[in-house]
Amino acid sequence: MEFMENLRNEAAKPEINSVSNQVTKLYAAIYSVIFLKNPLVQSIIRTDAQRDFFLRCLVTHGLVTMSMVATSKELGTLPVISNVFKHSCDPNVITIIHAGSFKMFVIRPIKTGDQIFTTYGHTWWRPGNEVQTQCRCVVCDSGPEGAKWRAAYREVRPKSPEVERGLLGLERMSFDMTAGLIKYQRIVQLMASEGHHPGEMFGRMVRAYFERLDDFVEEQNEKRYRANLLRMRGDEVVPGLFED
């Protein structure tokens, strides 16, 4: 209980997922008690400051491990790249997280000098996974910029013939995942260039594109891991069976 109390009293920090963080802290406290019963560990960690440092190292290890196995479908994370790519609930880049890999895909045109935004929580087109911090992006803004964004969201723009053809092509999509992704990428970028962002229809297309990207990255990673496992075992890898 003493170890959990120390963790509970620490200064408030942004949390990715409060439930999973509390579970991580609980496990860290349990492991800390177990390790500190070992005579060798006791000989190294003697003072309260050392015990506190040891406990926080266990928490950090747990959080890092959790983020490495996390997926975009389950929770938002704050990796090192968050120092470069800022958060927005209306990102122009999608980050796909799976088993320690981070892949980024541009969903809207980015001009020279524009800030690159991704999301480390939820988006306007995919609610949920909220981070426990105050967001100051244009979607969450309560001032003029936010009002302008919401007005654009409510505006319904007519679809051009090219957009109509693109949407029709999605209905005739084959089971080829790569070909399907290319079609979604084209229609999303076309709709963005024609001013459909941030409309409701654009949001539906981006969400569908994101979900297929997530499945694609997961599938490719699994193929790669299986191929690596076969190589480690010395088995022959059949070209095209497990490799990209």
pLDDT, tens digit (0-9, with 9 covering 90-100), for 102-152: 788 999 988 898 889 988 778 999 887 555 667 889 999 999 999 999 999
User: Cα torsion at 75, 129, 60, 38 (round to 10°)?
Assistant: -70
Q: Is the pTM of this model over 0.85?
A: no
* Distance from C-alpha of 59 to C-alpha of 55, rounded to nearest angstrom: 6
CA-nearest of 198, 175, 173, 199 to 186 is 173
pLDDT digits (tens, 9 = 90+) for 146-180: 999 999 999 989 999 999 999 988 887 766 888 88
pLDDT at residue 26 in the model:
85
Tokens representing residue 211 in the block = 């979900």
Cβ atoms of residues 14 and 133 within 8 Å: yes
Residue 63 amino acid letter: L
